[in-house]
Amino acid sequence: MTRVLITGATSGIGASFARRFAAKGFDLVQVARHRERLDSTAGELRTGYGVDVETIAADLLDATGRAAVEERLASSAHPVDVLVNNAGFGLPAPFPHSPVDDEERMLDLLTKVPLRLTHAAVPGMTARRRGVILNVSSVAGLLPTGTYGAAKAWLTAFSESLRVDLAPHGVRVLALCPGFTRTEFQERAGMDVSSLPTWAWLEADRVVDQALKDLGRRKPVSITGWQYKAYALAVRHAPRTLAARMARSRTPE
């Protein structure tokens, strides 16, 4: 039985991944901070799809909580076949206008946490010669968009490098680079996105469906929507000075 561990699993893109994998009959390990919400969503998935759902209530910025997730990923009993690194958050103000401790927490969650969880998961996957790592990055990493964009650029580059290194061992790696997606992300970060046009928004289910298609096609990066594919193409060919001018103060998920 395929088992999927998802961080940030109770809302947005993480919750959509949980539903999509449960619909395929895969068992789940849901990771999030809030026990009550974890239990509620796990119950809905068990009832709706008849799959087994484990829950780990953990703050991934806390060493003890993170260690519990690393231990679960490294376990050979009921092994994890798919890791979805989705947990994250953003800040409402550009560097250096947010407290430096908040900046450091964001960088830890967006870079240190997926690095450590991937490090815990990969040995078992390579030994079994099968596995999938899905890293939720962002189109914000394509342009100079502050520390958030820098962290997401790192995650995309990490994913692409890991994909090459792990391919001979039967492990697939995909970086998801969504644009603005209708989730709780912007509200939690305190961002004002009221002026964004309707066409700029993506739905979480659409992002996940595209990611699963691109995973099957063995693509290194998944970008959803004509608007963001055009954006990525323009950035790739624009001079860096022009690309810097294209960067916005708002941060896509």
| SS3 assignment for 94-139 | CCCCCCHHHHHHHHHHHHHHHHHHHHHHHHHHHHHCCEEEEEECCH
In the three-class reduction of DSSP (H, G, I as helix; E, B as strand; rest coil), residue 150 is classed as helix
Yes or no: say if 10 and 38 are a contact pair by the CB < 8 Å rule. Answer: yes
- What's residue 250's pLDDT? 47
- What's residue 249's pLDDT? 40
pLDDT, average across residues 154-181: 95
Instruction: Kindly report the pTM of this predicted structure.
Output: 0.89
Span 25-58, pLDDT tens digits: 999 999 999 999 999 999 999 999 999 999 999 9
Span 104-139, pLDDT tens digits: 999 999 999 999 999 999 999 999 999 999 999 999
- What's residue 223's pLDDT? 95
Q: Which tokens hold the place of 45?
A: 């998935």
Catalytic positions, please?
A: 148
